[in-house]
Amino acid sequence: MTKTTSVSYLVLLAYFSFVIISSVLVGVLPPLVNRPLCKSNESKISISKRSIESKKIDICPELTDFEIGIILPWDSYRLPKNVIPLNYEIELKIPSLNSKVYNGKSEITVQISESLDTFVIHKKLMNVNITELRDSKGELLEISCAGDYDKYDYYIFKTRDYISPDSSPLTLKYTFEAHLDKYESGLFNFNFGIDKTKSMIVSKFEPIDARKAFPCFDEPNLKATYSISLYHPNNTIALSNGIENSEIDSTGMIKTVFEITPKLPSYLISLSIFDEDDIVPRYSRSSTGRSIRLWSRKELADAGYADDPLVMAVDILNRLESLFEDIIDALPRQIDILASPLYPVDSIAHYGLAIFKENKILFKLNSISESERQQIALLIAKQFSEFWFGGYVTFEWWNELWQQEALADYFKYRLVDEVYPEWKIYDQFITEELIRVLVDDAFPSSHPVIKNINTPFEIEEYFDSVERSKTAAIFRMMEEETSKETFLNAIKSYLEANSWGTGNSLLFFSQLGRIGPWRATDFTDRWFKQSNYPLLKLNKVVSPNGTVWLNIEQSRFINTNSSVFAGDTIYPSPYNWTWYVPLNCVFGNGSDLFNQKFYISSQKQIEMIGDGTKDYEYFHCDIKFSGYYSLNYEHANWMALTDLLHNGNYEQVLSPNDRSNLIHNLFMNAFTKRLTYFDLSETLIFLLRERDYLPWKTLNFHLNEMLSLLEYKKPFYQVATYFDYFLRNIENEVNLWETSGNHVEELFKQTVLEIACQLQDFDCLDKTTYLWDTYKPYKVDPLFNNTMPAFMKRLVYNYHLQNAYTVDDWELVYTEYRTIEDLSEKEKFLESLSYTRLSWFLEIYLQRLEDDLINFFDKIKFLSRNNLGREYAWNFIRANYDSIVEEYGVDDPRLGQMLIDVSSTFETESLNYELLEFIVSLENGASINARYRALEKVSTNLDWLNKRSKEIIEAFGGPKKYILPK
């Protein structure tokens, strides 16, 4: 079938039925979205080969003339296993911060494990020449031919004779010339500052972009030591992975030599060069005397934006040094933290040089909200943890990326909880990660933690919430079943056994021993190799002889059965959708409680409650919300829990974590029709009394998901009216607009106000305009020293501009956005500009900021949240997609996330058709799963709105008994 025929066929089907559309997605869409990638991007990189001085070497004929049926040793995404790098000596010459190209030399010492005559190394977007090959005795070995194999980013050379392993270690010498200004990956430069006249160079090698900076063996298990020398312009500073030593060479350039690194994977090497007057350091030391330098723009450092984060970083590092005092050698002697004005991800913890996007680390205590402050602390904790999980011990291949990302993600909550115990951050894992990934992982197209990964596109898109948050949630469940100490000791044993090598996950799991009755390795197999997660349906049964039992049914939880991916289409289950589940339950009669733990191994299981002689009024499970699964009770038990929440002293029976669990499961079961919205609205009346943060934050998340689809639709008014009564009750007791010295209390206030304003509560909107007028900046201030309480800023900016139909205020914020130096405030202004309901301003928003590449993806994300703005964003993406790909590269995973962002609230058949038509027109790239997810989300939206809108109107709009017993 040709492309034209396929597209026309799908377009025709789209007009008839979304069910039919779904049915052809697997058969037709994958071939279309997986078409071979054209090489136009690489061909546009122009580098003069004449600038590389080397002996002319013939091109290997195997690289240009292929014989059918002949398997070439390099015809694979994986490097041959017979060459192991030991050490790199890399020399780069950067003529200026605005250079387009740079030259380099590389000397690599390798060990070979078998006789060979072919050497394969990674390189991309650069010209490479092999100049010399010597054996262990220094003898020169003759090279017969060489050349590029761009299909897999390889440079290949062959020797005249086979080389024996006895001749190693060998020394390979290369010269190369690479590009410095492409795709925000590899080694790249950019301009910054209000007038964009300042420049700097940074690197972003994770996951597979070190090959863009220098020839290397760019796979995580091929660890080696690195000696790096940089030649860079006078009056500039260079940073890399170790302590530096700089001097002026004979040409007037600075030569900076860095101490040799320990064994590291190529993706953790990092480089940066900047003007000494633009980026300046702040200094401190850890409790063990390690030097810590935080580098940031001078104007921000002078204004105090680097001082508080440096204190926070030292506090977190001190605790890490204490926890890992037996394996302290994982830490570099010097740690540099670079706050970069532009970076394609929030942060990467390269060994010794952690690079952060500027607005993700710089702050002043008196101008940042508590929610922003804890996010920065968590990010620092995660990056510092990766000195152990990633650098000290590295995973073998990308399908075990969780050994770095998930371990660090889990550990950051434990770490910050010990540094700032008053924040109660470990419990906030529920609202910051758990409920979010439970929603993401409920889509039928979701993937297992461990899956086959081969291509660069598959590697790029593996950095997602399933790989990170889901695995961290499983670790949290395992820790709850073992103990905090047991889990930490297992981590330490895993690190010590694999020091400066590659990780063996089986060793880690074996250190845990058993999870309940199961071996840890068997337990994790069930959770890591199956997509989605279990739904446990629980009901209490009394047998004829009076024995009381708990009946348990286990099945795969997915949020829709209409998707073609609902079966075993993409990732078949090796265990027939059966998990090993530790289930902790509490049974109660009033405040008389009985706790019992069950271990679920089959799809149907019945367990005696206690000794079977006592019945209970109610029960609830997944105590402390520590599990990674969904629960649904029999209707009678839901009603009993509702009565408990309405009439009893529920705080004594249900912790805030447990109440969050109930709210989450109510929404998930109502969405999937296992419960009705009448059940949900009846139970949630207990929120009249609720004053804890976690339940309200859980409600905020699910309500936001719901309201994003209901805006401008009939059910919105009933839902808003229903919750408005609860909000008024809180406002009568708590001054929500007053600052508080209590971290969790401020989070509670901010969350309730976010709900109120989103529901268009008149008092909330009126207050935002009053505060806007009070704190309105009448004079442009580059640092915007606004005295408005920090937790109110985003609310005030967003909702005032949403409901104020004045040109002057929008223009004022736009002016502030263009001139302000503080990128944290800049991001708030960028978001608020997208909130306007004046359609011509939304068009201006795109037109005026079209050249603002630093905030491009944020701009699309913010605009897509506005029901009116998403049309402008969607039309812009379709009209300019080729230019966007040219700017960022087809392998940038942000392209896929952009598609999800803009389409997440699509809810009409015409938009669904437009999305389908657009997706089938795309080339391959690092967003295949994102395209599936976008289509799946839109079809789910349509199904939900069509079938549930009437029920929602009746459930939330009907008479309610809002008075609860005291």
Q: Residues comprising the binding site for Zn(2+)?
A: 405
Strand order in the sheet with 618-621: 592-600, 581-589, 618-621
- The owner of tokens 């205590």 is 365
Q: Are 423 and 744 in contact (CB under 8 A)?
A: yes
Choose among 683, 595, 603, 599: nearest CA to 639. 683
Q: Are 58 and 145 in contact (CB under 8 A)?
A: yes
Q: Read out DSSP for 63-118?
A: GT---TTPPPTT-SSSPPTTEEEEEEEEEEE---TT-SEEEEEEEEEEEESS-EEE
Task: Locate all alpha helices (DSSP H) within 284-338, ordered by sequence.
Answer: 298-302, 307-323
Choose among 105, 107, 140: nearest CA to 126. 105
Question: Distance (Å, rounded) from C-alpha 580 to C-alpha 336?
Answer: 43
Choose among 464, 357, 179, 429: nearest CA to 823. 357
Q: Read out DSSP for 24-55?
A: HHTTTHHHHHTPPPPSHHHHT----GGGS---
Question: Distance (Å, rounded) from C-alpha 333 to C-alpha 966?
Answer: 60
Residues of the binding site: 405
User: Exposed/middle/buried for 70, CB within 10 Å: 0-12, 13-18, 19+?
Assistant: exposed
Choose among 258, 172, 171, 177: nearest CA to 213. 177
Helix then strand then coil, % of the chain, to nearest 5: 45, 20, 35
Q: Are 501 and 393 in contact (CB under 8 A)?
A: yes
Q: Are 40 and 886 in contact (CB under 8 A)?
A: no
Q: Are 354 and 295 in contact (CB under 8 A)?
A: no
Question: Distance (Å, rounded) from C-alpha 660 to C-alpha 696?
Answer: 8
Report phi then psi at 761, rounded to 5.
-60, 125
Return the exposure string of 201-232: e unless at least 16 CB atoms fall within 10 Å of the residue's CB, then b: bbbbbbbbbbbbbbbbbbbbbbbbbbbbbbbb
Task: Locate all alpha helices (DSSP H) within 804-923, ordered by sequence.
Answer: 807-819, 823-833, 839-848, 856-865, 869-888, 894-903, 909-919
Question: Distance (Å, rounded) from C-alpha 882 to C-alpha 231?
Answer: 36
β 254-258/101-112 pair status = unpaired
Question: Distance (Å, rounded) from C-alpha 351 to C-alpha 394?
Answer: 12
